[in-house]
Structure 1
Amino acid sequence: MEICPYLEETFKILGRSWNGLLINYLSRCDNRSAHFSDIKRDLKSITPRALSLKLGELADWGLIEKKVTTTTPLSIEYVLTPKGYALSQAMIPIEEWAQKNLELNHEDPA
């Protein structure tokens, strides 16, 4: 039996650290977009360097788009593309399964 090559490629994306969380995060934002500083504020444990790299990866896959507005001050937003939004919607059943079947450790790591 063969593994579906499309599923394999999808897990190459989602299997990398932060990618699934970033797609999920942007799908929940107003207009499916956010500024770098907003993402960094809300995903506290990602480093700025890692966030920058991950946003670039997701853009390379066509899942997000970097929109630069040449206003003063300069504004950069990261927007989920239709392809990225479709992937976020495909992840909803996985999230529902996790809520029903996984227990989270609610201890504060600090």
Structure 2
Amino acid sequence: MEVCPYLEETFKILGRSWNGLLINYLSRTENYSAHFSDIKRDLKSITPRALSLKLTELSEWGLVEKKVISTTPLSIKYVLTAKGVALSEAMHPIEAWAQEHLELEGSNRSEA
């Protein structure tokens, strides 16, 4: 019996550092979009270089789009594509499972 190649490919995306968290983060923002500085501020552990690489990677998979807004100064937002939104919605049952079955160090279940 083989593993589903589609599931295997999906875990190649989600199994890489930060990818799942970035998709989840953008799915919780207004209009599924955020500026680089907002993402960096809220995901404190990621370095600017890693964040840049991950956003590029997610863009190459068609999950995130980089939008340049013609203002002075230029403004850049990262937006989940329809494909990215669909993946974030598919992650909701995993999040629910984790909240029910996993204990986070130093946290209380009622905080989640």
State how far apart, in whole Å, the 2-side matches of 1:13 and 1:106 are: 29
State how far apart, in whole Å, the 2-side matches of 1:84 and 1:70 are: 24
State how far apart, in whole Å, the 1-side matches of 2:85 and 2:70 are: 26
How many aligned positions are there?
107
After TM superposition, the score normalised by the length of structure 1 is 0.96
Question: 1:1-110 alignment to 2 at 5 Å?
Answer: 1-106=1-106
Displacement, 1:70? 1.7
Identity, % of aligned positions:
80
Q: Deviations over 1:21-73 (max 9, x none)?
A: 00000000000000000000000000000000000000000000000012101
Q: Which runs of 5+ in 2 are unaligned?
A: 108-112
The ranges of structure 1 where at least 4 consecutive aligned residues each deviate by more than 4 angstroms after the TM superposition are none
Q: Which runs of 5+ in 1 are unaligned?
A: none
SS at match of 2:79: strand
Give the superposed CA RMSD.
0.8
State how far apart, in whole Å, the 1-side matches of 2:46 and 2:18 are: 8
State how far apart, in whole Å, the 2-side matches of 1:92 and 1:19 are: 15
